[in-house]
Chains A and B, each alone.
Chain A
Amino acid sequence: MSLMVRRQIPILIVFVTALIIMADYFLQLPPIDAVTKKSWTSSLVTDIQNWGIVLAAFALGFGAVNLSYLHTRHISRRTKGQWPFSIWLLLIIIIFAVTGIRYGATSSTYSWLYNSSYFALSATVYSSLGFYMTSGIYRALRARNLESMLLLIVGAIAIMRNAPAIAVAAPIVINMEAWISAIPTTSAQRGIMIGAALGAIALGIRTMIGRETGFLGRLTEAEKGG
């Protein structure tokens, strides 16, 4: 009974929801509305999708809850070199959440807060990887064998094309890059894409039939035993 409620029914929900969403796309199941020419599944799917959006919106709080768990632990244990930062992190979460909810996400107060910190930080954090790439290029981009030679040559041509002045000075790189992008890159990426699509479909099938249960999260005692 307990396994039923705790495990089988959720898996059944996944199966049925996915099936309805797919059926609405592939089939026109009667009864069909005379005016809109839409099947009965259509309005049901509209509803399910909108519920999904509201649920996903609820789930946006997970990040904050996870961080709170982690960092209150750091604070209570006084983890060396970490706990003052943990306090600051929790404070920032609260400041953002309170300001944003109190004044609204597009209020001038909140956008001031956003522009002073989050925007600057998120714009910078990922760009700092540009530095690592540079030393990676210097040290590792070597023509060691045919494979790495191909990688290097193609990369160098694309780098030249991406620099506007080089492309103007030597227009041939424009044509070369166009060919590289249209022929070898597109075709290799297509090959990878076809494989990945099958992987995604297989994952979907395994989840629908309850063979891929990662989404269930932690296991209950009964499940661990069984």
Chain B
Amino acid sequence: MDFNTVFQIWAAALFTIWVYSIAFRDNPFFKFAEHTFVGAAAGHEIVMGVDNVIRCGWTPFARGAFVYAVVFLLGFLLYTRYSKYFWMSRYPIAIMVGIGIGLSMRAAVTAEFIAQISSTAKIKVLGVDAWTGFSNILFIVLVLTVVYFFIFTFPGMHGGNLGIISRFARYGMMAAFGYSFANTILSRFNMIFGRLDFIMSQWLPLPGAMITFPVVLILLVYAMIPAEKRPWPKPIQPG
């Protein structure tokens, strides 16, 4: 294995262990890993931003779409938000916001409103077996009650005996949240598996890793001890 690969595995393994230490207690190693993460994310965004400006902006410009000169100017205006002339950044932002709103409104009304209504209206309640009928009725009732639950400005709709509708909706939502919760466990555990698998099958077999591993852990535990209780290094006393 060449040096580059070995270094890469070592760095990735150490970062992994340091990040996991936050589950136990905050410590400088975690802070180091976290700052690397935040910095790398910001750096990576610049890289991909430049890549996109070149591929989606510069390429057509070089082929004669000179209108992109204006777009580039607007792009730079975005950064006036850090200056006295910050109001200039509102022009490019207004274009982006306008596109975003236009795209989301025109599609949301179909995809998340009408399509959901018509899919609910298409559910069969008659002419099916008893269990399917029950399930389908429950489905419809839950959709209706949950929508009803989110009606706020007609208090009369929730008063007296009608309160049962909202309560029923809450039961349905709680069941749904239980399902989501279980799925989140699956997701998070899968991620943990991915990292542990990397440590065990790629890092630990490397020479020296088995010996370093406990040292890393001991250092971590040491770092978790509050500074004033540590024998060394002593915290710097202010003043």
A residues in contact (CB < 8 Å) with B: 5-7, 9-11, 13-22, 25-26, 47-65, 67, 69, 80, 85-86, 88-97, 100-101, 104-105, 110, 112, 114-133, 137, 146-148, 150-159, 162, 179-198, 200-201, 204-205, 207-208, 215-218, 220
Contacts and interface: CB of A to CB of B under 8 A. Distances in A.
A124 B179 contact: no
Q: Which label, helix, strand, loop or mixed, suits the secondary structure of the B interface?
A: helix
Contact of A58 (B7, B49, B198): B49
A117 B94 contact: no
Contacts of A20: 102
Given A93-B42, A150-B178, A56 B96 contact: yes
Contacts of B86: 217-218
B64 to A, nearest CB: 14
Interface string B142-156: 111111011000000
Given A130-B188, A179-B135, A187-B146, A204 B11 contact: no
Contacts of B94: 10-11, 13-14, 17, 215
A197 B49 contact: no
Contacts of A95: 43
B174 A148 contact: yes
Given A21-B99, A54-B53, A133-B188, A197 B108 contact: yes
A220 to B, nearest CB: 6
A90 B147 CA distance: 48
Given A14-B94, A52-B99, 10 more contacts: A18-B105, A25-B107, A105-B48, A112-B8, A120-B11, A130-B188, A147-B170, A162-B183, A188-B172, A189-B176
A63 B41 contact: yes
A150 B142 CA distance: 15
A188 B173 contact: yes
Interface of B: 4, 7-8, 11-13, 15-16, 19-20, 22-23, 31-53, 56-57, 60, 67-68, 71-72, 74-76, 78-79, 81-82, 86-87, 89-99, 101-109, 111-113, 116-117, 119-120, 135, 138-140, 142-147, 149-150, 169-186, 188-189, 191-192, 194-195, 198, 236, 238
B147 A195 contact: yes
A18 B183 contact: no
Nearest to A66: B42
Contacts of B13: 120
A52 B181 contact: no
A55 B77 CA distance: 10
B57 to A, nearest CB: 4
B147 A127 contact: no
- What are the 3 A-B residue pairs with the smallest beta carbon separation, nearest first? A191-B146, A96-B43, A17-B98
A60 to B, nearest CB: 3
B138 A53 contact: no
Given A14-B94, A17-B94, A194 B41 contact: no
Contacts of A80: 236, 238
A59 B78 contact: yes
A98 B94 CA distance: 30
B39 to A, nearest CB: 3
Contacts of B142: 183-184, 187-188, 191
